Amino acid sequence: MNHLIISLTCLVCPAQTGDLQVRTETNVAVPMRDGVVLRADVHRPDRGGPYPVLVMRTPYSKKGRRFGRFVKAGYIVVCQDARGRYESGGQWESFVRPETRDAQDGYDTVEWAAKLPGCNGKVGTFGASYNAFLQWRTAPLRPPSLVAMAAFSIPARYTDLEGPGTIRPGRRLNWWISGMTPDTRAKNGRPGTTTRAEGRQHWKSNADRWLRFLPYSKLPQEVFEEEAPFVQQWLTHPHTDPWKLHKDVNKITVPNLNVVGWWDHCNGHLLLDQTIRTQAADERARTGSRTIIGPWGHVGMGKRRIGKLDFGPEAAVDLLAEQIRWFDYWLKGKDNGVDRTASYRIFVMGDNRWRDEPKWPLGRAVEQIYYLTSEGGAQTPSGNGRLVGEAPQASGRDSYVYDPEDPVPSLHGPALFQIPTDQRPLQDRRDILVYQTEPLAERIEVTGHPQVELYASSSAADTDFFVRLIDVAPDGLARDVSLGMVRARYRNGLDRPQEIERDSVVRYSIRMNATSNAFLPGHRIRLDVTSSDFPNYDRNHNTAANQNDDAVLLKATQTIHHGPGSMTLIKLPVIPPAGEASLKRPR
């Protein structure tokens, strides 16, 4: 998660340019209520004031970070190592723990910052990913000096981050091994990798071994260090949520600016955005919060090009400028129009344009259904799988073998975050079923959460099903639009696990990730169905055992049923052309 933070907070103008100079005090002591001392770097203008303070608390090290644009815009910036991380005292308590001191530390830091020399008493918090998690922990305690926050790209629930009863081994093991445990080892004087650079090199050399390690609950102490008991507890119960950030939103009194991407693993439900608008304790938080959703993953936010895909010049957004404008309104009282911007600014892919919306999901969306059908040969794009607008009259089925020893490989970036990709490298695999429309005669915009009603049988007692919505261009580019998955044992809810009866047809309702995509004339709408996406998600072992405690891998024969009695279909939230709002950039 640290890559995103760097991309958002280290875009700096040289300190010696402009009217204001930047002065930095390093490792300033910040006492907590329990006597532990945390350390912060304080970046301030060299003259003038008083100024508001912006606070970032991070587990990823404050060292070397620069905040020149914020300082030159008239802000004091406090960047603090979180408890137990780098220069700060105490024991780090990771976010897999149900209870941590993060909220109290955040409160104490905000109030300490409000009393800094040259501060006007108003504080904002900012940062993305884990740094945003720390903000959502702090805000419900209502520090008196906290006025606004810009908490980017974090979901309400840990089960939204990892998946419904699953884990994301690619990113998560990389995160622990390369980013988190080296500092813990260094603090405790133990051998092994002790810097992030060493951790990254270790991961680069050993990634495949760690990813295919089984079972995950037996990963050695070096992977998680002091947090091992808490991680192991969660691995034994991956359906549980140690976060529940949305449960305390009704105590929050300050507005939030959120930025997230359509491929961000935090976009699953946008639950925090919806909750703060309906349940926050203050009208300012309910009506003042804003959200920008762009064509990005968890990395590369604000850019026009993600991986090999270019979403055009409109996709590029100066997110530092957006944050300065946000805080200028709330912390300085500038009449810069922030209060008149739309609640949501969404990027409509395909059109590659921004559009303002008053709420999410869009109330004017109309459900359009496409049914899956074939002549029994839906494997690969050259097969006979089709998406049709009329319910098929004949029953049919398509089968494939899911082998967890040879899972469908994830197509993502080097940081192992999900990003938009061209799916053509997977087109020859026989364990992906492909259903697609004829070339479209007119534009169809899909904005919202697509929903798949899947009728499937399996030779296994538990397995996974993945569905991927894809935009196929006339030149063959197959750009993924939205992803959804279900772990069969949790089909009735994470609190009601139940095995499936082998070879019996079971109905699965799969809510896909939020998206906004215009399928243009000549393009095809395509739905892929498979059973793996590794290492973006862990491999289902196809057994009834808790797979995080068990190393047995079995093949499974999967059958997708369609037609009368087992009508597999996808429901698309389509925006009628007459209801389109004006298109504009986020400003």
Helix axes 130-138, 102-114, angle to 10 degrees: 80
Asked whether residue 582 is assigned to any structural domain, the reply reads: no
Active site residues: 129, 264, 298
Asked whether residue 586 is assigned to any structural domain, the reply reads: no
Shared-domain flag, residues 230 and 261: no
Of 70, 128, 131, nearest in space to 105 by CA: 131
Could you give the CA distance from residue 9 to residue 55 in angstroms, rounded to a whole number?
Answer: 12
Residues 6+ apart with CB under 8 A from 517: 348, 349, 350, 445, 446, 447, 469, 471, 481, 482
CA distance between the termini of the chain: 27
* Whether 368 contacts 355, CB under 8 Å: no
Tell me which amino acid residue 364 is: R
DSSP string, 341-378: S-SEEEEEBTTTEEEEESSSS-TT-EEEEEEEE-SS--
The residue range of the domain holding 556 is 366-576
Shared-domain flag, residues 288 and 266: yes
Of 421, 436, 422, 456, nearest in space to 379 by CA: 436
Shared-domain flag, residues 483 and 531: yes
Asked whether residue 191 is assigned to any structural domain, the reply reads: yes
Shared-domain flag, residues 308 and 398: no
* Whether 341 contacts 362, CB under 8 Å: no
Q: Please list the alpha-helical segments (H only) found in 192-334.
A: 196-211, 221-224, 228-236, 271-279, 283-288, 319-332
* Whether 168 contacts 162, CB under 8 Å: yes
Running DSSP on this structure, what letter comes out for residue 177? I
CATH number of the domain residue 459 falls in: 2.60.120.260
| pLDDT value, residue 18 | 53
Structural domains counted in the chain: 3
β-bridge pairing 396-402 and 451-458? unpaired
| pLDDT value, residue 585 | 44
DSSP string, 397-423: EEEEEE-TTSPPBP---TT------B-
Could you give the CA distance from residue 179 to residue 359 in angstroms, rounded to a whole number?
Answer: 36
Asked whether residue 522 is assigned to any structural domain, the reply reads: yes
* Whether 63 contacts 115, CB under 8 Å: no
Residue linked to tokens 């981050």: 161
Shared-domain flag, residues 256 and 220: no
Shared-domain flag, residues 40 and 131: yes
Residue linked to tokens 């009329």: 390
Asked whether residue 316 is assigned to any structural domain, the reply reads: yes
Please identify, among 218, 236, 254, the residue that sits at the C-terminal boundary of a domain. 236
| pLDDT value, residue 414 | 81
Running DSSP on this structure, what letter comes out for residue 191? S
Shared-domain flag, residues 253 and 295: yes
Please identify, among 357, 374, 390, the residue that sits at the C-terminal boundary of a domain. 357
Asked whether residue 583 is assigned to any structural domain, the reply reads: no
Shared-domain flag, residues 136 and 182: no
Please identify, among 198, 221, 236, the residue that sits at the C-terminal boundary of a domain. 236
What Rg, from alpha-carbon coordinates, does the chain have? 24
Shared-domain flag, residues 490 and 526: yes
DSSP string, 215-250: -GGG--HHHHGGGHHHHHHHHH-TT--S--GGGGGG
| pLDDT value, residue 361 | 94
Shared-domain flag, residues 388 and 445: yes
| pLDDT value, residue 587 | 43
Asked whether residue 255 is assigned to any structural domain, the reply reads: yes
* Whether 533 contacts 485, CB under 8 Å: yes
Of 190, 263, 276, 269, nearest in space to 225 by CA: 190
Shared-domain flag, residues 179 and 49: no
Strands (E) located in 153-201: none
CATH number of the domain residue 256 falls in: 3.40.50.1820
| pLDDT value, residue 1 | 45
Shared-domain flag, residues 341 and 385: no
| pLDDT value, residue 2 | 41
Residue linked to tokens 């709408």: 525
Host H or E run for residue 526: strand 524-530
Give average pLDDT by consecutive 10-residue segment, the chain, 587 residues.
36 48 97 98 97 98 96 98 98 95 98 98 98 98 98 95 90 95 94 94 95 94 94 92 96 98 87 96 98 95 94 98 98 98 98 97 97 97 97 97 98 88 97 98 98 98 98 98 97 94 97 97 98 97 93 98 97 84 43
Tell me which amino acid residue 208 is: D
